[in-house]
């Protein structure tokens, strides 16, 4: 054959097996073989082999590497493995990831193994569980301070920040299970935290409305800003105009503050004397503001207008034509697709409506254009959802009590899971993880080969003893780990981490 696979073979079917009835010719090397008179006949060269190999999958390339020295060299080419990574993981764009000292091949093998172990979830073999204690009060919120990109060059490290009723903010090394730093005792209990991983900053707010910026590496306080009342929402935003913080307070005002200085950029009245919820779009170009179960319709602001206010002109915004809003989320794979749960016109049924947003330049300035994409009624038998997240561009995840349900934006129910014995308290959706008062985390994995993707229920991650703990209240994750907040019966909380193992360079998990 001289290094050429037979015509008619489909991509990915190589499998390292030579065609039946044909034998590999001895003396094949570098795409050349012995002719009938002992002469060397020219066969495929390096670039021709590279083109053929570009149609192969990872397992086939690994098999091709075992043929001879030239095939080994070609099958390990950087561009082949880079394209495999880009096809399998859309996040592998050069601008969004750091390879460090690892090659694209090493990255592919390590990430494939990581996904395999996360899908299997065998204790000790696939992950290590650690209980991390330190706070003397209840943990109210946690956020990862480390970037969530996959790295396998020995520099990967998972860090989280937590705030507690014990009036401290703390940073933790998830892999080591140790505290990195703790702030001095603050004037009041801390109730929320958001992070800027790129800037290595954590921002907290206490129950009296005092906002502070902390250096994530050393815990040094860098700036502060005091609200007139307590905060109802914090949102960290990475914008083209620069990083900024959005804060909603109980008076119904929306504040835009620079980061890290916490200088006031704008102050806008949203809902009079009503606690406001905030949600930034994936690209931080839009901000959704709502107040639950109110006759006041939710509003959507164009973010740039909050940062660059023109004197005597309100920010660019629109009010959606719905009422009694309860939950909302953005579609993560779309720049401006918003899904909102609300009551229908007579208030008797729950509806989920999907909108697309864009701006249009007019003679008077910039206008917001809202287009309704889809709308459907939730089943009457379904309890009103208390958690709502988006996946991709078409899928909505809803949590009602102890049930997790998946719908398309057009109302087709894709799946329903009853894996928990008690109510679900929190949900993380990059890989779907649910936390529950039954003292377990449930792990689900997406099958992205189907359209829309199908969610598979995999296994439970168990917490401590029911004698000492009342359940998980929060869950977050990154590429290498999962962290849950485990509430104790004595009014305190601990972190429970699950760190997944990767044997660098192993190809045992490649399909």
Asked if residue 215 is part of any domain, the answer here is no
Same domain, yes or no: 250 and 370: yes
- Rounded Cα–Cα distance for residues 259 and 198 (Å): 12
Q: What is the pLDDT of residue 24?
A: 41
Give me the CATH number covering residue 53: 1.20.1280.50
Give me the CATH number covering residue 249: 2.130.10.10
Q: Which of these three, 353, 377, 401, is where a domain ends? A: 377
Q: Which of these three, 377, 401, 434, is where a domain ends? A: 377
Q: What is the pLDDT of residue 97?
A: 56
Asked if residue 236 is part of any domain, the answer here is yes
Asked if residue 202 is part of any domain, the answer here is no
Asked if residue 384 is part of any domain, the answer here is no
Asked if residue 154 is part of any domain, the answer here is no
Q: What is the pLDDT of residue 372?
A: 96
- Rounded Cα–Cα distance for residues 260 and 196 (Å): 10
Tens-place pLDDT, residues 229-257: 999 899 999 988 889 999 999 888 999 99
Q: CA end-to-end span of the chain, whole Å? A: 26
Q: What is the pLDDT of residue 189?
A: 96
Eight-class DSSP state of 106: H
Beta strand spans in 16-81 (E): 33-34, 40-41
Asked if residue 93 is part of any domain, the answer here is no
Residues of the chain whose pLDDT is less than 70? 1-42, 91-101, 148-156, 310-312, 504-511
Q: What is the pLDDT of residue 310?
A: 63
Tens-place pLDDT, residues 267-297: 999 988 778 899 999 999 999 999 887 788 9
Q: How far is CA 435 from CA 23, 116, 446, 486, 487, in A?
A: 56, 22, 18, 10, 12
Q: What is the pLDDT of residue 22?
A: 38
Q: What is the pLDDT of residue 5?
A: 41
Same domain, yes or no: 241 and 111: no
Specify the 3-state DSSP secondary structure of 239.
Answer: strand
- Rounded Cα–Cα distance for residues 389 and 329 (Å): 5
Eight-class DSSP state of 263: -
Which residues touch 72 (CB under 8 Å, ≥6 apart)? 65, 66
Which residues touch 94 (CB under 8 Å, ≥6 apart)? none
Strand order in the sheet with 350-362: 323-330, 337-343, 350-362, 365-377
Asked if residue 330 is part of any domain, the answer here is yes
Cβ pair 211, 227 in contact under 8 A: yes
Closest-CA residue to 252 (of 236, 225, 270): 270
Q: Which of these three, 377, 401, 423, is where a domain ends? A: 377
pTM over 0.75: yes
Range of the domain at 323: 227-377
Asked if residue 407 is part of any domain, the answer here is no
Q: What is the pLDDT of residue 98?
A: 60
The number of domains in the chain is 2
């Amino acid at each position: 054959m001289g290094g050429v696979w037979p015509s008619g073979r489909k991509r990915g079917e190589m499998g390292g097996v030579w065609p039946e009835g044909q034998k590999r010719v001895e003396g094949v090397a570098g795409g050349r073989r012995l002719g009938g008179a002992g002469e060397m006949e020219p066969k495929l060269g390096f670039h021709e082999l590279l083109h053929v190999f570009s149609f192969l999958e990872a397992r086939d390339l690994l098999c091709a590497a075992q043929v001879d020295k030239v095939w080994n060299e070609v099958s390990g080419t950087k561009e082949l493995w880079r394209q495999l990574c880009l096809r399998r993981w859309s996040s592998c764009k050069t601008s969004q990831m750091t390879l460090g000292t690892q090659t694209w091949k090493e990255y592919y093998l390590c990430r494939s193994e990581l996904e395999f172990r996360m899908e299997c979830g065998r204790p000790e073999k696939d992950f290590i569980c650690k209980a991390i204690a330190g706070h003397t009060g209840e943990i109210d919120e946690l956020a990862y301070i480390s970037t969530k990109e996959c790295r396998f060059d020995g520099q990967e490290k998972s860090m989280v920040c937590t705030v507690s009723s014990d009036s401290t903010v703390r940073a933790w090394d998830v892999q080591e299970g140790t505290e990195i730093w703790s702030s001095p005792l603050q004037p009041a209990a801390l109730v929320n935290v958001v992070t800027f991983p790129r800037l290595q900053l954590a921002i907290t707010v206490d129950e009296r409305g005092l906002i502070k910026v902390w250096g994530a590496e050393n815990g040094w306080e860098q700036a502060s800003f005091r609200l007139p009342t307590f905060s109802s929402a914090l949102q960290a935003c990475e914008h083209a105009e620069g990083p900024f913080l959005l804060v909603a307070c109980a008076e119904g005002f929306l504040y835009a503050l620079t980061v890290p200085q916490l200088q006031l950029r704008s102050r806008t009245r949203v809902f009079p004397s009503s606690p406001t919820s905030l949600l930034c779009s994936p690209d931080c170009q839009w901000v959704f503001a709502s107040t639950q179960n109110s006759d006041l319709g939710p509003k959507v602001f164009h973010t740039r207008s909050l940062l660059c206010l023109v004197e005597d002109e309100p920010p660019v915004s629109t009010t959606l034509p719905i009422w009694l809003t309860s939950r909302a989320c953005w579609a993560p794979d779309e720049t401006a697709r918003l899904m909102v749960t609300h009551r229908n016109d007579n208030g008797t049924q729950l509806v989920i409506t999907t909108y697309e947003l864009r701006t249009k330049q007019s003679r008077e300035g910039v206008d917001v254009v809202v287009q309704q994409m889809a709308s459907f009624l939730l089943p009457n038998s379904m309890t009103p959802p208390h958690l709502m997240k988006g996946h991709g561009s078409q899928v909505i995840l809803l949590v009602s009590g102890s049930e997790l349900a998946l719908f398309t934006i057009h109302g087709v129910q894709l799946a329903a899971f009853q894996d928990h014995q008690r109510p679900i308290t929190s949900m993380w959706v990059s890989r779907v993880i649910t936390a529950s008062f039954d003292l377990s985390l449930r792990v689900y994995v997406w099958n992205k080969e189907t359209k829309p993707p199908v969610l598979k229920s995999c296994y439970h991650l168990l917490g401590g003893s029911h004698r000492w703990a009342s359940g998980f209240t929060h869950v977050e994750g990154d590429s290498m780990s999962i962290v849950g907040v485990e509430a104790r019966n004595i009014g305190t909380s601990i972190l429970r981490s699950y760190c997944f193992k990767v044997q660098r360079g192993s190809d045992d998990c490649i399909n």
